[in-house]
Structure 1
Amino acid sequence: MLTGNPPTPSGNRPNRSVLTVSDLNREVKHLLESSIPLLWVSGEISNFAAPSSGHWYFTLKDARAQVRCAMFRGRNRAVRFLPENGREVLLRVRVGLYEGRGEYQLVVEHMEEAGLGALMRQLEELKARLQAEGLFAPERKKPLPLLPGRIGIVTSPTGAAVRDMIHVLGRRHPAAEIGLWPVQVQGREAAGQIADAIARAGHSGRHDLLIVGRGGGSIEDLWPFNEEIVARAIAACPIPVISAVGHETDTTVSDLVADLRAPTPSAAAEIASANAVEMWQGLVALRQRLLRATQIQLRHLQQRVEATRNRIRHPREQLQNRAQRLDHLELRLQGAVRQHLHNRHRELQLASRAFAHYHPERALEHRRQLTDTAAERLRKAMQALLQKRGERLAHSGQLLHNVSPLAVLQRGYAIVRDEQGQVQKSTRTLSPGQRVHTRLAEGEFTATVDEIL
C-alpha cells in the first residue's frame, strides 16, 4: 500500500517521506497484481500492433469502455490465429500497470476466439469429469499387441489420412489385414457415427487393434473427437485403441482416453507396424547369419572330403591284402582237414589193435558199430567244417571281388597302361601321340593320345 506522512500545518516542516512518480507507479502495480487474480475478459480488438520484438499490443473495447492490452512473445506463440482489428476474442489476463505512462493494462496469458469460449469451458469440464472417473489413468490403458495381424481403422473413407495410413501399413506390414469403418469425421452426426463404429469394430472379433482418427483441421473440425460419447466408446472398447487426431500439436479428449496417442495418422500406422519392421529386419539378419554359417560348414565338409580322399588306399593294395588273407585261410583249412583225418586214422588203428582182444564176431560187430559211428561223426564233422570253410571262402571271395579292379571296371572305370604295361595315374605322365592300352569291364583296346586337356 502507499506509504508517507500526512501534511502538517503551514510553517511546520518535520521530516517527510516523499515518493517519486516511479515509486508510486511501482506501488500501484504491485497492489493491482497482488489483489486481482487471473480473470477472463471478452471484447473487440482495435489498434493491433506487432513490432519486430514479437510482442503484441492492442486495445480491448466494448460499446462503453476500452483498456490497453499487452501479450508478450512467449505467450502469443501458442495463439493459433492472427489477431486483427474488429475480431471478438476471449482473453485470460492479469491486471497490471505500465509504469512508464502510469496506465493500467491487461497482460494477456491466453487468447482464443470469442465464439469458442463456451465450448472450451465445456471441454475443460468434460476433461475434469472423465479424469475424476479414472478414464485417463495409465493403469487402465491396454498394451498394444506385439504384432497385430488385423488392424481396424475408424475414419473418413475419402480423406488423406486413410490413404496415408493404408500406404504406411502396406509398406511396413504388408501381411496385416486392414478393415476400414467409414464415418463422418466432422459435423453434427460425426460423433455418433464414430462412437457407433468404435463399438461395432471392437466387438466384431475381426481386429486385434483399432486406429481412430482424422487429419488436421480447425478446432471446430476436430470437435467430434472431444465429445463424451466418443470418449466413452473408446474407454469401453475391448481391444486396444490408438487415437490419431489432427497434427502433433492437437490434443483431444479421444487422445487422453485412448490406450495410446499418436501425433498423426501416419505415425499411428508406424506405431502399429513397428514390431513387424523389427521382426523383418531380424529375419534378414538371421538369414545372413544362416548363410554365413552354411558357407563355413560347406568349407569344413570340403576339407573333410579332401582329407578322406587322401587317406583312401589304392585298390591294388587292398586286393593284395585280401588275397594274402585268403591264402592264409586256405592253408589253415588244409591243415585242419589233415589233422582231423590223422586223428581219425589213429583212432581207427587203436580200435583195430584192440579188436584182437575180443571174440572175433562180437569184436567185429562192436568195432563195426564204432567205425560206423565214427565214420558218421567224421562225415558230419567234415560236412560242417567244409560248409563253414566254404562260407568263409565265399565271403572272402565276395570281399575280394568288391575291391577287385574288375568290379571297379564294372562301374564304368577303365585301367590305362602305357606301352610298357605301367598303369597311368595322371595325364602328366602322358604325351600327345603316345599309344596307350585301355581295359574296360568287357574287352580291351589300344588308342593314341591326341590331346592333353
Structure 2
Amino acid sequence: MTTTHFTADPASSPANNGREIFSVSQLNRHARQLLETHLPLLWVEGELSNVSTPSSGHWYFTLKDDQAQVRCCMFRNRNMLVRFKPQQGQHVLLRARVSLYEGRGDYQLIAEHMEEAGSGALQRAFDELKHRLSQEGLFNEAHKKALPPLPQHIGVITSPTGAAIRDVLSVLERRFPSIPVTVIPVAVQGKESAPQIVKAIELANRCGLFDVLLLTRGGGSMEDLWSFNDENVARAIFNSQLPIVCGVGHEVDFTIADFVADLRAPTPSAAAELLVPDGDEWLDKFIGFEVLLEEAMQRRLQQWQRHLHHLQQRLRHPRERLEQQAQRLDNLELRLKNHIKQLLRDHKNNVQQLRIRQQAHHPQLRLEQLKERIAANSANLHKAQIRILQRKQQNLIETLRLLNTLNPLSTLERGYALVTDSQTRKVITSSEQVIPGSEISARLAQGELICRVEQVRSKSDS
C-alpha cells in the first residue's frame, strides 16, 4: 500500500506550533488528487436516477443499487458518443474514473463511456455461447440437412399473432398455395419462450406430419430475440431429424439459432421464399408434360395400329367376316383418335383459360379441380380402351367358334361316327358297300372302333 503525506501551508505552521492544518479547499484538492491517482479507470454497473441534462450539454445523474449510490458526471465531449438517451431507472454500465468535486466535497464518478447493461451482458453471453457451440461443431456445414425440393407439409414454429406469420403465409400462398402449412404456436420472447420452442421442435419431429420446419419471428432488440440465443433451443435444432430454416428478425439480426439451423434466411418472408418453389414455373413444367403425354399417346396409337394390321393379315378366314371386323376396327380406331385429340384440345383450351383466369383469381382451388378432372379423364380413357379391346377379343372368339361349327370333325362331337373300310380306308356311305363278315373301322370323336359285319340290311329291308 502506498501512503501519501500532505504538507500544510508553511505560512500557517509557526503559528500553530508545528501542527499541519488544512483549509477545506486544500483538503478537497488533496483528496481528489489521491482518488484520481490511486484508482484507475474502472467499470461500474447500476441504475440511473436524478438524471439532469442542462443547456451546457453535460449529463449529471446518480448511479445506485439496492444498498448505495454515487453521484456521476459525463461531460459533453463524451456523452456525444453514447447511442441512446439515458432515462430514469435505466440499468447501465459505466467506464469511469473516481474523482471528487472540490466545491462541495462530493465524491463522484467521471464517466468516459456508457452502455446499456442488459445488452452488454447479453452480448458477452452471446459471444461466449457462440464460441462454445462452435467448438463443439454445432455450426459445421457437414451437419446441415438438405431441404426438400417440394415440401409436402410445412411446420411453422412462431407466434400465431405476430407479423412474421402473416408475412410467411402471404408468401407461401402466393408462390405455391397447394402445400399444406401448420402453425405450431409458441411464445417468441419471455421466460416461457425457449422451453416452448424446444417442445415444439420435439413434437414436430415425433408426429411425422412434416418434412421441413420454419422457425421464425419478426425483428426486435437483443433482449426480444434472446429466446433464439438459448442453448437448449440451439441443441434442439441441432438434434432435429427434420431440416429447419431459421428466419428471425431483420437482415442485420443474427442469433445462435441462425448458426445452428440448416438454412438461415435474413427475414421471415425470405425464409418462406426459400422453402417453396415458384408455382408459375411448375405450371410451365406441367404444360411441357402435357406435350410429352400427347406424343406418347400418338406413339402408343401407332403401335396399336401396327398390331391390328398384323392381326388382320393373320385372320384371313372367313374373309368377309374378318373384313367387316377390320373395317369396324378401323372405324373405332379413327373415332378413338378423334376422341383423344378432342380431349387433348379440350385440355389445352382449359389450361389456356386457366392461365388467363389465374391473373384475376387465386389458382389454388382451380388447380385442385383440374388435377382431379385430369385424373378422372385419364382413368376413363384407360377404362374405355380396355373395354374396346375386350369387345374385339370377344368378337374374335365368336368368329373362331363359328369356324369351328363348320368343321366336319366337329360333327363327331355330337355322337356321329365316320365309317371306313379297314383295308382300303374308303368311306362307307351305303350298306351295299360291305358284306357280312367284312371288317370295318368306325372313327369317333375320341378314338376308333374296329368292327366285323354280322348282318347287312338294305334300305328296302328297313
Q: Indicate the structure (1 or 2) with the bigger Cα radius of gyration.
A: 1
TM-score (norm 1): 0.44
TM-score (norm 2): 0.43
